[in-house]
């Protein structure tokens, strides 16, 4: 029985330079991977990771240099990004790379979303905001 689906590659911006990740995604495609899930974090998880590139710019480069399907692991609307900005970015990538982009949405966590000093709501409130967006 032939397996269904594809195996995807995880591009983790907290750990690697965005140019390096782009090269690895090209290698992943050449090795048979069918998709890339890209992390959307403002901060690295630990001080030794030291970086976290802007995923939306990088996905445009990925789409232009591979034929992979791609999208965000989780992008939380309503905090760091207004839902309208996410919609515009998603629509742009879908228009440029039809059928290849997906949008992963989630409620977020304080490390990455509480970057402007506003009140950080409890999980039930964040989930409500996610559903409204």
Domain CATH for 12 = 3.20.20.30
Tell me, what's the pLDDT at 104?
Answer: 94
Residue 17 annotated as catalytic = no
Give the CA angle between residues 90, 77, 106 to the nearest 5°. Answer: 95
**3 inside domain:** no
In the set 17, 30, 94, 109, the catalytic residue is: 109
Closest by CA to 105, choosing from 123, 125, 124, 78, is: 78
**DSSP strand pairing (101-102 vs 35-38):** unpaired
Domain span at 120: 8-132
Query: Is 109 annotated in the active site?
Result: yes
pLDDT of residue 121: 80
- 16-20 long-range Cβ contacts below 8 angstroms, 24+ apart: 16/51, 17/51, 17/53, 18/53, 18/58, 18/61
- The predicted pLDDT at position 4 comes to 56
Domain count, the chain: 1
Rounded Cα distance, 51 and 84, in Å? 26
**Catalytic-labelled residue, pool 20, 29, 30, 41:** 41
pLDDT (tens digit, 9 = 90+) per residue, 67-96? 999 999 889 888 788 999 999 999 999 999
Strands 8-11 and 35-38: parallel
Q: Residue 35's pLDDT is what? A: 96
Q: Is 56 part of any domain? A: yes
**The pLDDT of residue 92:** 98
Q: What is the pLDDT of residue 2?
A: 55
Q: Is residue 53 part of a domain?
A: yes
Considering the domain boundaries, does residue 60 fall inside one? yes
Assess if residue 1 is contained within a domain.
Answer: no
Closest CA to 107 of 122, 97, 117: 122
pLDDT less than 70: residues of the chain: 1-5, 110-114, 116
- Pull the structure tokens for residue 87: 């919609």
Tokens of 63: 């789409």
**Does residue 123 lie in a domain region?**
yes
34, part of any domain: yes
The pLDDT of residue 72 is 95
Predicted pLDDT at 86 = 95
User: Per the domain annotation, does 2 fall within a domain?
Assistant: no
Q: How many helices (H) and strands (E) does the chain have?
A: 5, 4
């Amino acid at each position: 029985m032939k397996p269904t689906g594809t195996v995807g590659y995880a591009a983790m911006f907290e750990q690697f330079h965005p140019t390096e990740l782009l090269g690895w995604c090209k290698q992943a495609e050449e090795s048979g991977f069918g998709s890339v899930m890209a992390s959307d974090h403002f901060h690295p998880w630990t001080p030794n990771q030291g970086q976290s590139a802007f995923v939306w710019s990088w996905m445009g480069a990925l789409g232009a240099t591979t034929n992979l399907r791609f999208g965000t692991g989780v992008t939380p609307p309503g905090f760091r990004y207004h839902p309208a900005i996410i919609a515009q970015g998603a629509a742009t990538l879908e228009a440029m790379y039809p059928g290849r982009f997906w949008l992963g949405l989630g409620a977020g966590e304080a490390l990455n979303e509480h970057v402007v000093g506003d009140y950080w709501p409890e999980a039930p409130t964040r989930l409500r905001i996610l559903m409204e967006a």
